[in-house]
Amino acid sequence: MAKVIVVTSGKGGVGKTTTAAALSTGLALRGGKTVVIDFDVGLRNLDLIMGCERRVVYDLINVINGDAKLNQALIKDKRVENLYVLPTSQTRDKDALSQDGVERVIESLKADFDYIVCDSPAGIERGAYLAMYYADEAIVVSNPEVSSVRDADRMIGLLTSKSRRAELGETMPQHLLLTRYDCERVEKGEMLKVEDVQEILAIPLIGIIPECPSVLQASNIGTPVILDEKSQAGRAYAEAVGRLVGENTPVVVPKAAKRGLFDRLLRRSA
């Protein structure tokens, strides 16, 4: 049974696309046939993060409008077996997304795939609404910072009231993914603690992705960060994918490494 997972947040720039790329890659690495769909019509980014931007011919909007077949628009990932990208249009806007068009695309993908990951645009308007409407499960991405937490809260409210599952009276599992977690700044009180965010959002935590230079590097070279097994962020995403498929590993809150005297002296002189 195919599962539709939306990656959403309300606020922009918190790491939705990075997360959608990492999770879909992780699900495919575990053997599930996975497609990741870019819903950010007009601000196409997912193809860059996935490193397939030079192979885009047709896109989601072409498929919705009947200009191309689904198979023509799906881009097969070159690194990971079972992973496909459905890019979006850069020239159109969110009005090009029709509700029945999105439903048709998702329903036909369900026949072929195990996981359909929807990368939501920021905001709570049409693009974000259609990205989450058909979801079976949601990953709500937030930074440990007040405005993104408030927007995530709003998004959770919409998921529980405006999604198709909500309209049918079914529950939708929702998971909190805390990204850009900078433990030093949290310890200094400059960012919210994990408990504070969880207290406000009150949904289960699926992972904490530490702030990590590897994320930007990965974006720049078009490789999902989960493929960088040496990076902290990559490992944290791999663990989150494990929890998403049902592994019962506890979420460990990253701690700032205690620097020794020698290290501090070196750093000061550097």
> From CA 92, how far away is CA 62, in angstroms rounded?
10
Compare residues 77 and 151 and give the one whose CB is closer to other proteins: 151
In eight-state DSSP terms, residue 96 is: G
CB of 33 to other proteins, least distance (A): 34
> From CA 38, how far away is CA 24, in angstroms rounded?
12
Compare residues 33 and 150 and give the one whose CB is closer to other proteins: 150
Contact 112, 162 (CB under 8 A): no
**Helix, strand or coil for residue 113?**
coil
Counting residues that bind other proteins (by CB under 8 A) gives: 13
Compare residues 67 and 199 and give the one whose CB is closer to other proteins: 199
266: contact with other proteins by CB under 8 A: no
Task: Out of 90, 98, 108, 160, name the contact with other proteins by CB under 8 A.
Answer: 160
H/E element, 180:
strand 174-181
Task: Out of 33, 104, 110, 154, name the contact with other proteins by CB under 8 A.
Answer: 154
CB of 250 to other proteins, least distance (A): 24
Closest CA to 62 of 36, 34, 33, 86: 86
**Span from 87-95, 187-195, 196-204, 247-255 in contact with other proteins (CB under 8 A):** 196-204
- Amino acid in position 103: E
Region of residue 211 (left: phi > 0; alpha: psi -120 to 50; beta: else):
beta
Compare residues 30 and 150 and give the one whose CB is closer to other proteins: 150
162: contact with other proteins by CB under 8 A: no
CB of 95 to other proteins, least distance (A): 23
Contact 135, 166 (CB under 8 A): no
Give the interface with other proteins as residue ranges (CB under 8 A).
Answer: 124, 150-151, 153-154, 156-158, 160-161, 199-200, 202
